[in-house]
């Protein structure tokens, strides 16, 4: 299953220096990604972090020169996300009419 998540990167030594970024992971079945799977994703993205709190999905880089804390702010899958009806309607306006299959 496809899981989208929003994570906040907070540079602890720099006031006001935080970013919200998006990530995407795939899992087998309907279970959400584990803290270890998200940790592997963050490491693949270049963050040298460890799990600080597996329940709250908080990760920490203890580098004394530039400590970074990463929090998973939102975690959900495509099936749970609300569709934007206006956007869907607008997209349908640009779709070419074509032959109907199986009709």
Instruction: Look up residue 66 and give its two tokens.
Output: 């530039």
- Residue 48 is predicted with a pLDDT of 93
Residue 84, in any domain of the structure:
yes
Residue 29, in any domain of the structure:
yes
Residue 51, in any domain of the structure:
yes
The most distant pair of C-alpha atoms in the chain lies apart, rounded to whole Å, by 65
Residue 100, in any domain of the structure:
no
- Residue 92 is predicted with a pLDDT of 73
Rounded CA gap, 81 and 66, in Å?
35
* Bridge-based pairing state of the strands 18-26 and 2-11: antiparallel
Residue 58, in any domain of the structure:
yes
- Residue 66 is predicted with a pLDDT of 84
Which residues form the domain of 48?
2-94
Residue 99, in any domain of the structure:
no
Task: Report residues of the chain scoring pLDDT below 70.
Answer: 15-17, 78-88, 95-103
Residue 72, in any domain of the structure:
yes
User: Per the structure, how many domains does the chain have?
Assistant: 1
Residue 16, in any domain of the structure:
yes
């Amino acid at each position: 299953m496809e899981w989208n998540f929003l994570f906040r990167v907070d540079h602890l030594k720099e006031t006001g220096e935080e970013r919200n970024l998006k990530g995407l992971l795939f899992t087998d079945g309907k279970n959400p990604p584990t803290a270890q799977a998200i940790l592997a994703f963050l490491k693949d993205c270049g963050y040298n972090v460890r799990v600080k709190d597996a329940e709250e999905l908080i990760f920490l880089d203890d580098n004394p020169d530039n400590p970074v804390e990463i929090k998973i702010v939102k975690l959900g899958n495509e099936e749970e996300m609300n569709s934007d009806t206006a956007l869907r309607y607008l997209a349908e306006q640009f779709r070419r009419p074509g032959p109907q299959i199986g009709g």
